Amino acid sequence: MDALLLSRIQFAANISFHILFPTITIALGWFLLWFRMRFNRTGDQAWMDAYFFWVKVFALSFAMGVVSGITMSFQFGTNWPGFMETVGNIAGPLLAYEVLTAFFLEAVFLGIMLFGYRRVSARVHTLATFLVAFGTTMSAFWILVLNSWMHTPQGFEMRDGVAYATDWFAIVFNPSLPYRLVHVLLASGLTAAFLIAGLSALRYLFGDRSRPMWLALKTGITVAAVLIPLQILAGDLHGLNTLEHQPQKIAAMEGNWETRANVPLLLFAWPDQEARKNRFEIAIPNGASLILKHHSEGVIPGLNDFVAEDGTPLHPPVAPVFFAFRIMVGMGLAMLVMSWAGAWYLHRRDRLPRPLACMLVPMALSGWVATLAGWYTTEIGRQPWLVSGVLNTADAVADLPPVSVGITLFAYLAVYAALIVAYISVVVALTLKAARTDHETPPSVKDPGMDPDPVLSLTPRGGEPRHA
């Protein structure tokens, strides 16, 4: 493999690892604020106990995100100097705004949020929690401004091969920012909601019957059930925006080779880029046209429209985009089914069947899977451009020996594999420790994780159903 491909894989590995943690903390900060405000209003210590548990997960995730973000930023200089040389006048200030307006805010008030509960007033502690949550959201805003601008650049001019800003308002509020920002914030909300629901279900299966666990479980399931239909709507609108500004990406997502009407929705296929066709298609007639144009005779662009005269593809590699998109959609549908089933049982019957509780545990990581699949769809779908229509990916890479890039890539992968195992292990250990120390086991239940009934009831011992 050449240095270009290795550098792309290395940056993909870095950002894939890094994005796992902001996608938790962006929304988890708001969950913590909700727990804190419910305690302020009701005085119910269970809300504060839920806060204390989840603030540990937040702190661990925040630390992992900071460390991985620093190593990722170094690659702009080591592997991709052409990026900053060409668009640094725009990318540099946007990254600086993220540090000045968001990261500093998070870092300063995180200490108060973690260690100030008994040292500052309730009002100050609540304010610190709010500012940390707000800071994580602002951090996402500035990063997505830059990323969206790379997809739909405007508000600049080129002079001697270098981009100079002419309209910062147009740069910040570029055409794809509103859709991408909403899509990512909702994705973070779903990631945190399913993490909370999944780990709370794990606590229950290990004998925890405490009220803080029930409150967290019900909160996670309820938020997920509300957000997933909004995410489906936001995804549809984002797709229409992408069709307008990056039609070749949509063509790759749909596996559509020829511009035509009545395009089917491919549930499965094997895109053959060499033969310029799909194999083993399973399709819904007119489905893609209905989704993208809202009528069956809508014309969808084809990949064959994006080929240079010499045969060089001017569209992204089809198979990765095609399959990543379907993984994202499939995970979204699984989230819809699980969250609505869980919400129905929790809110209508005040109980949770054991099979559903067991299925919620692996769904704790469903947000990670969906986020990575969506990110790959977006970023691979921009190829062969690093900045659409401005900077080709191949023109930005450093002239490095492939062996050197391969060695650093292997080192990154080894460290990240160890860190992700350590992170998951610590989170699971925290969860099981909470299950052992906080549980209220009914007298008839002797073995943690073994319920005498096939249904896990939300009704406490000898009392009425508890309501969050």
pLDDT digit string (tens) for 297-315?
A: 889 999 999 988 888 888 9
Q: Which structure tokens are listed for 349?
A: 């019957």
Q: What's the confidence (pLDDT) of residue 439?
A: 55
Do you find a cis peptide bond into 93, omega within 30 degrees of 0?
no
Asked, for residue 467, whether it belongs to a domain, the answer is: no
Q: What's the confidence (pLDDT) of residue 68?
A: 86
Asked, for residue 465, whether it belongs to a domain, the answer is: no
Asked, for residue 464, whether it belongs to a domain, the answer is: no
pTM, entire model: 0.89
Task: Please tell me the distance from the alpha carbon of residue 335 to that of residue 339, in angstroms, as a whole number.
Answer: 6
- 246 and 283 co-located in one domain: no
- 139 and 172 co-located in one domain: yes
- 17 and 138 co-located in one domain: yes
Asked, for residue 462, whether it belongs to a domain, the answer is: no
Q: What's the confidence (pLDDT) of residue 193?
A: 97
Asked, for residue 466, whether it belongs to a domain, the answer is: no
- 72 and 190 co-located in one domain: yes
For the segment 337-353, what is each residue's pLDDT rounded down to a tens digit?
Answer: 999 999 998 887 777 88
Query: Counting beta carbons within 10 angstroms of the beta carbon of residue 117, is it exposed (0 to 12), middle (13 to 18) or buried (19 or more)?
Result: middle
- 240 and 365 co-located in one domain: yes
Asked, for residue 23, whether it belongs to a domain, the answer is: yes
Do you find a cis peptide bond into 452, omega within 30 degrees of 0?
no
Per-residue confidence at 93, pLDDT binned at 50, 70, 90? very high
- Domain count for the chain, please give it: 2
- 296 and 312 co-located in one domain: no
| Residue range(s) defining the domain that contains residue 295 | 260-300
**Greater model confidence, 116 or 183:** 183
Which region among 48-57, 112-121, 137-146 has the lowest average model confidence (pLDDT)? 112-121
The share of the chain scoring above pLDDT 70, in percent, equals 93
Final residue belonging to a domain, choices 272, 300, 328: 300
- 344 and 283 co-located in one domain: no
- 335 and 294 co-located in one domain: no
Q: What's the confidence (pLDDT) of residue 455?
A: 37
Q: Closest Cα to residue 99, out of 128, 74, 69, 126?
A: 69
- 162 and 295 co-located in one domain: no
- 283 and 154 co-located in one domain: no
Q: Which structure tokens are listed for 107?
A: 């870092």
Residue 282 has pLDDT above 90, yes or no: yes
For the segment 228-270, what is each residue's pLDDT rounded down to a tens digit?
Answer: 999 999 999 999 999 999 999 999 999 999 999 999 999 999 9
Q: What's the confidence (pLDDT) of residue 462?
A: 34
Mean pLDDT of the chain: 88
- 371 and 265 co-located in one domain: no
Per-residue confidence at 102, pLDDT binned at 50, 70, 90? confident
Asked, for residue 463, whether it belongs to a domain, the answer is: no
- 133 and 270 co-located in one domain: no
Asked, for residue 382, whether it belongs to a domain, the answer is: yes
For the segment 369-419, what is each residue's pLDDT rounded down to a tens digit?
Answer: 999 999 999 999 999 999 999 999 999 998 889 999 899 999 999 999 999
